[in-house]
Structure 1
Amino acid sequence: MLLTLLRSRRFAPLFACQLFAAFNDNFIKNALAILILFQLGGSSGPMLVTLAGALFILPFFVLSALGGELADRYDKARVARATKAGEIGVALIAAVGFLIASAPLLFLALFLTGCLSALFGPVKYGILPDHLARDELVAGNALIESATFLAILAGTVGGGIMVAEASPWAIAAVTLVVSLLAYVFSTRIPPSGERAPGLRIDPNIARSTAALLRDLKRQPRLWTGAIAVSCFWLVGAVVLSLLPPLVKDPLGGRESLVTLFLVVFTVGIAIGSLAAAQLSRRRIRLGLTPVGGALVGVFSLDLAFATAGMAPAATSVGWSDFLRSAADLRIVADLLGIAAGGGLFVVPAFAFLQAEAGEDHRARVIAANNVLNAAFIVGGSLILIGLQAAGLSTSTLIGLVGALSLAGAPLMWRALSGAVRLEAQAR
């Protein structure tokens, strides 16, 4: 089924459009971070990098509701084309910012990128059930999730490498070419039709966001699915935040080892997502979600035990120096297992959310889920900062993630079982 979808006009253009768009988002974000840290930021570099991350995530709080309303009111393919056309303009701003090394222009481009990503989010996931059958949703989501993480990795690594090795003209060219490719593929996405043509767009984004969350809360099945998806993004954000300090302190590694761990994590997400598609056998099997959560817990705890009390190597370790002992292989296997468990966790939960949302308000359900995702990520990041400030080691924090994941797995099982019972009663 996976190859059939990749060859299908119903899915392939959206897949490619999302792939290039996610690459460009992270290319710009990481290139800006590297420029700030090593060239433009001076002593304020770390603070400015944190500000850049906040500027990118802020629009998901503010504009997701509007994106959901637009995607339900108008043809989703038309909205996709409009957002990708807007990204060409943003890419021009970013290109000029790279050419003249202007932090204000690059910050503006990053914020606008976040705005367009927030508007596109309800489209890319809301349109899947319009073009795919229910028994294709798990496979479609598995491919989208795998492609998204691969694009995030490629954009993050590519942005860092090009700032260090390439000319500003090359960086600007990549930004523009990738945005053009995303737009070209967006023009090939088949029309979805207007699912709620009578919907009135609420210009008060605070009111519409609050109403969106209230409506989601009133639907227990959808609320449970959204909470499950948000838990995935929470754990993913925390683990990714812990990778650089894990490499630096217990392992004594260099930047290249962080890149290796990012590659392993991305491959793990893809493995878990594709495994969910294969194990589902053309059905949405929510039982895989708590199993994935338990795997995240087990591998996180083992990673914590494997790295606890380690003394950094006498000389800094790069990726080529790693993987020379059983202890190194254990760490990589644990990281791969955490990511694979995450992929297995999220794909059935998100497919369930899409399938159960009514077609006349599906995009708004996805938008509400995006707001919850952002809230979980920000909340988790703030808690993580507080625990780090309190002196907890990176290994301890990873162990805490594992313990909470294991404890939460049976609770997630009960919640999702309840959602399935409600679904059966509704039918």
Structure 2
Amino acid sequence: MSAPSSSEHPSQFALLGQRRFAPFFWVQFLGAMNDNVFKFAFTVLVTYRLSVSWLPSAMAGLVIGAVFIAPFLLFSATAGQLADKYDKARMTRWVKNLELAIMALATLGLVTHQVPLLLGCIFLMGLHSTLFGPVKFAYLPQHLNERELTGGNGMIEMGTFVSILLGNVAGGLLIALPESGAVSGAQAVAVACLALAALGRLAAQFVPATPATEPGLKVNWNPVSETWANLKLAHGHLAVFRSLLGISWLWFFGAVFLSQFPVFAKDVLHGDEHVASLLLVVFSVGVGMGSLLCETLSREHVEIGLVPLGAIGMTVFAGDLWWSSSSLVAPALQYGLGSFIAEPAHWRVLADLFLLSLFAGLYSVPMYALIQLRSPASHRARIIAANNILNALFMIASSLIVGALLAAGFTVPQVFGLLAVANAVVALWIFLVVPEYLLRFIAWVLSHVVYRFRLQGTRHIPATGAAVLVCNHVSFIDPVLLMAASPRPIRFLMDHRIFKIPVLGWLFKLAKAIPIAPRAEDPAAYEAAFDAADAVLADGELLGIFPEGGITRDGTLQPFKGGLMKILERRPVPVVPMALTNLWGSFFSRVEGGTAMVKPFRRGLFSPVGLVAAPAQAPEQVQMDALQARVAQLLLASKD
């Protein structure tokens, strides 16, 4: 038994050869790169070459960043409506046309050194990114299936950070060209920006049609009222809204590092501007690699269990970055790039920065994928717009708070240390108010560390709609393993005695499992359990049951009880037969006189276990004896 083959679900890189993804990827890549070539070149220009009384060089980066982000606050709500109302391919081409016009204006400003015009173009490029943001994330779910969504988001995130990195490097190199040369730095930047805009427009021409999800929407052009309406709309889907807050916190977290790299490199690491560039490179590569790792670690599902893993890594390595950089001694001469890398003490700093950014990639991609998957299609772009609004607010708050801390006398390493503590607190809050993240993390650890979990046929678990998952019952952690295999949350109907087990009982309560007692023991609890199960199916969710009525005591499949038929009489839904394999004899199964959890790691780490799922059965075809025989058949087949 093995996981789905690569031919059945190709690598995320295969998407780059497909029209439904590749043109859109390059539109995003080229647009982000153009933003950063222009922004960084303009920042260097007003910092080093132009003297502008009303824009001091010390404030240039802050002012340019604020002007760029302002449209996200002002126009995200409108952008979300437009992306829901119109075909996203058309929207993409409109936005790229706007980018060409902006770059034409920017060319005039660069050649004539008109700073007010260039600042206006920065605002317009922020508007360009604002309009494209909801399109970018609402486009993917219309062209990628659930198994491809994590990989597609990983590719987009990786591409974005690589393009940001390349844009900053290219902008810095081009603007540094001497004014006395055949082509001045400003002219070179202008040509590069126009070329990138033209290439982006060319790529946009190949983006496939992506129909509007709500073509009859009447656009509200009032940004204040529509912003409030978007935030209320997102709040109506609590798991989604809290994920939006989680992503916004990541932007807060990342903005602290990105804004402090120059001063961190100069005053703490005692390096020159090339060291500051190295920090940006390490950070960008780390985020890109973390984003790409998500598909491998998630088995091509939207695996939100990676989010707590990412949060833990971000906290640990941000804290260690504070620790490792607090005791560095200033050299006699400022470090250049070569002398900086030659110092072993700096390797730990670079490793911390790389790893915290890698874990940030693991944190962000599943959250974006969950928002895309769980948001109603008709409102998806507007919910993404609400995310952009929150991101902007959190980034502004980041600047204000970090500025206040530095003004109060905190050092940059101390700010990083406080950020590590804050990240731990925020992560704990998110995982307690949205317990699905914590539960999926535990499931992910069990299925990747304690066990080597092999899946077969999990494509038969419905991606949408109500269904009952029927499985044999071998161990106390069967529900956790089923969670690890399913792309969607599962509500379990479980023996009420399991809820009395320490830790496990708390976890199952957190998962909102439904306790059921025998009718003879507690008739009211028995009926209440079936009412709760029916409500789960009525809401279009997945219900998991173990029809044996208890955990096997000898490793064999026990007779199925008739509770399933009672569920189907009230709510006819498809039934998916499943079988957990090779769990008997593990720590969580009943052995040695009927007891479980006696010898930890009895079979060592990475013990092989599996899950096999068969095609769903229509409710009218379900018979208990035949269903039991089907599960038994799956168990036998797994041993072949």
Q: TM-score range by the shorter chain?
A: over 0.9
Question: Does the Cα contact within 8 Å between 1:251 and 1:313 map onto a contact in 2?
Answer: no
CA distance in 2, matches of 1:225, 1:151: 25
Q: 1:196 maps to what in 2?
A: 214
* CA drift at 1:311: 2.7
Q: Deviations over 1:344-383 (max 9, x none)?
A: 0000011000111111111101100010111111111110
Q: Establish whether residue 119 from structure 1 lines up as the match of residue 137 from structure 2.
A: no
Letter in structure 1 aligned against 2:103: A
CA distance in 2, matches of 1:47, 1:250: 21
Q: Which stretches in structure 1 are left out of the alignment for 5+ residues?
A: none
Q: Establish whether residue 233 from structure 1 lines up as the match of residue 243 from structure 2.
A: no
Q: SS of 2:377's equivalent?
A: coil
Q: 1:92 maps to what in 2?
A: 104
Q: Establish whether residue 31 from structure 1 lines up as the match of residue 41 from structure 2.
A: yes
* Selected match of 1:280 from 294, 298, 322: 298
Question: Does the Cα contact within 8 Å between 1:286 and 1:416 map onto a contact in 2?
Answer: no
Question: Does the Cα contact within 8 Å between 2:293 and 2:362 map onto a contact in 1?
Answer: yes
CA distance in 1, matches of 2:151, 2:338: 35
Q: 1:408 maps to what in 2?
A: 426
Q: 1:207 maps to what in 2?
A: 225
Counterparts in 2 of 1:122-201, with a 5 A limit?
A: 122-165=134-177, 167=184, 168-201=186-219
Q: 2:50 maps to what in 1?
A: 40
* CA drift at 1:198: 1.1
Counterparts in 2 of 1:388-427, with a 5 A limit?
A: 388-418=406-436, 424=490, 425=536, 426=539, 427=541
Letter in structure 1 aligned against 2:361: G
TM norm structure 2: 0.65
Percent identity over the alignment? 37
Greater share of strand = 2
CA distance in 1, matches of 2:212, 2:428: 40
CA distance in 1, matches of 2:426, 2:109: 45
Q: SS of 1:136's equivalent?
A: helix
Q: Deviations over 1:329-357 (max 9, x none)?
A: 11110000110010000000110001111
CA distance in 2, matches of 1:69, 1:125: 14
CA distance in 1, matches of 2:311, 2:378: 32
The farther-off stretch of 73-82 and 155-164 is: 155-164
CA distance in 2, matches of 1:62, 1:401: 28
Q: 1:223 maps to what in 2?
A: 241
Q: 2:278 maps to what in 1?
A: 260
Q: Deviations over 1:11-43 (max 9, x none)?
A: 000100100000001111111111111122456
Letter in structure 2 aligned against 1:125: F
CA distance in 1, matches of 2:280, 2:155: 19
Greater share of helix = 1
Letter in structure 2 aligned against 1:408: V
The farther-off stretch of 33-42 and 127-136 is: 33-42
* CA drift at 1:47: 2.3
Letter in structure 1 aligned against 2:188: A
Q: 1:374 maps to what in 2?
A: 392
Question: Does the Cα contact within 8 Å between 2:38 and 2:189 map onto a contact in 1?
Answer: no
The farther-off stretch of 39-48 and 388-397 is: 39-48
CA distance in 2, matches of 1:103, 1:325: 41
CA distance in 1, matches of 2:60, 2:427: 37
* CA drift at 1:48: 3.5
Question: Does the Cα contact within 8 Å between 2:161 and 2:284 map onto a contact in 1?
Answer: yes
Letter in structure 1 aligned against 2:63: L
With a CA cutoff of 8 Å and minimum separation of 6, indicate the structure with the bigger relative contact order: 1
Q: 2:21 maps to what in 1?
A: 11
* CA drift at 1:326: 2.4
Q: 2:521 maps to what in 1?
A: none
- Please report the RMSD computed on the Cα atoms of aligned residues, expressed in angstroms: 1.6
* CA drift at 1:94: 0.8
Letter in structure 1 aligned against 2:38: I
Q: Deviations over 1:139-162 (max 9, x none)?
A: 011000011011111111211121
Question: Does the Cα contact within 8 Å between 2:37 and 2:189 map onto a contact in 1?
Answer: no
In structure 2, do the counterparts of structure 1 residues 245 and 285 end up closer, same or farther at CA, with 3 Å as the change threshold? same
* CA drift at 1:310: 2.2
* Selected match of 2:95 from 66, 83, 93: 83
Q: Establish whether residue 324 from structure 1 lines up as the match of residue 334 from structure 2.
A: no
Letter in structure 1 aligned against 2:65: G
Letter in structure 1 aligned against 2:98: G
CA distance in 2, matches of 1:19, 1:318: 31
Q: 1:70 maps to what in 2?
A: 82
Q: SS of 1:30's equivalent?
A: helix
* CA drift at 1:318: 1.7
CA distance in 2, matches of 1:281, 1:417: 21
Q: Deviations over 1:291-310 (max 9, x none)?
A: 10110111111111111132
In structure 2, do the counterparts of structure 1 residues 227 and 423 end up closer, same or farther at CA, with 3 Å as the change threshold? farther
Counterparts in 2 of 1:323-342, with a 5 A limit?
A: 323-342=341-360
In structure 2, do the counterparts of structure 1 residues 412 and 290 end up closer, same or farther at CA, with 3 Å as the change threshold? farther
TM norm structure 1: 0.97
Q: Establish whether residue 383 from structure 1 lines up as the match of residue 395 from structure 2.
A: no
* CA drift at 1:406: 2.7
Q: 2:372 maps to what in 1?
A: 354
Q: SS of 1:361's equivalent?
A: helix
CA distance in 2, matches of 1:250, 1:31: 25
